[in-house]
Amino acid sequence: MSARKAANKRNAKLSKGPRTPQGKARSSLNALKHGLTAQLPPYVLEQCKSDHAETLDFVVRQNPGLDLTDGVCILAGRQKLKTRRSQLLDQLASAALLDSTDVMSGLLRELGRLETYERKSHSRWARLIAGA
């Protein structure tokens, strides 16, 4: 085992995760950020199902018997990503008008991170549909 891998293992053992009920509740909603995990409270799942009913109905017609719980989470995350991208683009346009290069640089970095999540989300959706 390399020194880097050993150091990573030691550091990982120190991580305790959220400790307070508020922190645990907040971290349980991480699926909404990017749609890459499937732990959502029932009320969020129901909202996502109603928001994306047409898409989900189409997928179920194409793949009878498919459990779409994971798909609902992915769609919810993708919607959040679209909303965040729109916000960032608005902020980027404002920063460009103000000629604020530092702000623009930070916004561009965040847009790059969003793109990474979007690619992962798209791949996961494609695997879900193909695996049916």
Per-residue pLDDT at 2 exceeds 80: yes
What pLDDT is stored for residue 40 in this prediction? 60
Taking only the tens place, the pLDDT of each residue in 60-116 is: 777 777 777 777 777 777 777 888 889 989 998 988 888 888 888 888 888 888 888
Per-residue pLDDT at 5 exceeds 80: yes
pTM score: 0.57
- Measured distance CA(125)–CA(110) in Å, rounded: 22
Q: What percent of the chain has pLDDT over 90?
A: 3
Phi, psi torsion values for 118, nearest 5 degrees = -65, -40
- Measured distance CA(75)–CA(79) in Å, rounded: 6
Taking only the tens place, the pLDDT of each residue in 17-30 is: 787 888 877 776 66
Q: Please check whether residue 32 is in contact with residue 82, taking contact to mean a CB–CB distance below 8 angstroms.
A: no
Contacts of 129 (CB under 8 A, 6+ apart): 59, 62, 63
48 CB burial (10 A radius; 0-12, 13-18, 19+) = buried
